[in-house]
Amino acid sequence: MAFEFKTITPQPMSSYIGAEIQGVDVTQCSDEQFAELKKAFVDYGIIAIREQNLTPEQHVEFAQRWGDININRFFKPSDQHPLIAEVRKEPHQKMNIGAIWHTDHSYDLAPALGSILYAKEIPPVGGDTLFNSMHAAWLTLSDGMKETLSGLRAMHSSRHVFGVLTPDAFPDIEGRITNAHEAKQDAVHNLIIKHPDSGKEILYVNPQFTVGIEGWNKDESDALLGFLYNHAKKPEFSCRLRWAEGTLAIWDNRSTWHCALNDYQGHRRLMHRITLEGVKLEGSAEPALAEAS
């Protein structure tokens, strides 16, 4: 039987993923209401809570109810709070942040649990974010493919993304992404993981941070990953979040991908992001240990 929410009313955004929530003030959540937000987060993968009016301190306080904050190594922190990362694009900048399908921090041994993104300034039109359900992606594979994937692990890295983003290579990145020299994270994760809370199977590779399948050569790996990416990108596994100022989105980083659309040239978009610490996934290892095991 479906869970009956008593203190919130999630409105599904699509068949597999996403729910909008109105009428909640996250600064005033009771324990019961907060527990239901957590349940909705696990069930829907991404929840968008509308019409919030948060100071940076209130954003941080709300995030701390979910767990420890993981300070992103590469995003510029907000001048307003060191625990908040800025996702910013100025009118003259062409590149946006997060345009390639990804899940945050999959290059870490303990990938982030989720992110809490707060819309501060949005363009008059455009700048939506797409989210896809990686449980739906797994669910719709054949039994034969599920069996093949279940014994495999993939390598994820930050090096080829953040290690090369220097102002020389990408002048646009200036003042937004920093610390290229710190891009040294590599991790190996099972291709299929079990969600730590729901127990559901999830396809856990992504086009931005996954670099190859353990024990496979590049051609083999590119072919399988290419197939999986095309499959997982299907629009029927997705929902589209149309932001408004004050929208607070919380996504589950284990069970979803996201991609920020870059269709608002000449306009400013400013979001405040807090990322939440996650736990080590079953089967995850550092690459050297993975080779030895």
Shortest Cβ contact with ligand SIN: which residue?
A: 98
E strand residue ranges, the chain? 11-12, 19-21, 46-49, 69-70, 77-78, 81-89, 114-121, 129-133, 153-157, 186-190, 192-194, 201-203, 210-213, 238-241, 248-252, 256-260, 269-276
Instruction: Compute the least distance from the CB of residue 291 to ligand SIN, in Å.
Output: 30
Count of residues interacting with ligand SIN (CB under 6 A): 10
Instruction: Compute the least distance from the CB of residue 279 to ligand SIN, in Å.
Output: 20
- Which string of x and - marks every residue 266-285 that binds ligand SIN (by CB under 6 A)? -----x-x------------
Q: Is there a contact between 237 and 27 (Cβ–Cβ < 8 Å)?
A: no
Instruction: Compute the least distance from the CB of residue 180 to ligand SIN, in Å.
Output: 18
- For ligand SIN, the closer CB: 170 or 216: 170
Question: Which residues have C-beta within 8 Å of that of residue 55, sequence separation ≥ 6?
Answer: none
- For ligand SIN, the closer CB: 36 or 104: 104
Instruction: Compute the least distance from the CB of residue 176 to ligand SIN, in Å.
Output: 11
Euclidean distance between CA atoms 90 and 103, whole angstroms:
24
Report the SS3 class of residue 193: strand
Residues annotated as part of the active site: 102, 104, 258, 273
Q: Are strands 19-21 and 46-49 parallel, antiparallel or unpaired?
A: parallel
Q: What are the backbone dihedrals phi and psi of residue 24, each rounded to the nearest 5 degrees, phi first? A: -120, 135
Q: Is 87 in the site for ligand SIN (CB under 6 A)?
A: yes
- Which string of x and - marks every residue 96-115 that binds ligand SIN (by CB under 6 A)? -xx----------------x
Which residues of this protein are in contact with ligand SIN, per CB under 6 A?
87, 97-98, 115, 117, 129, 258, 260, 271, 273
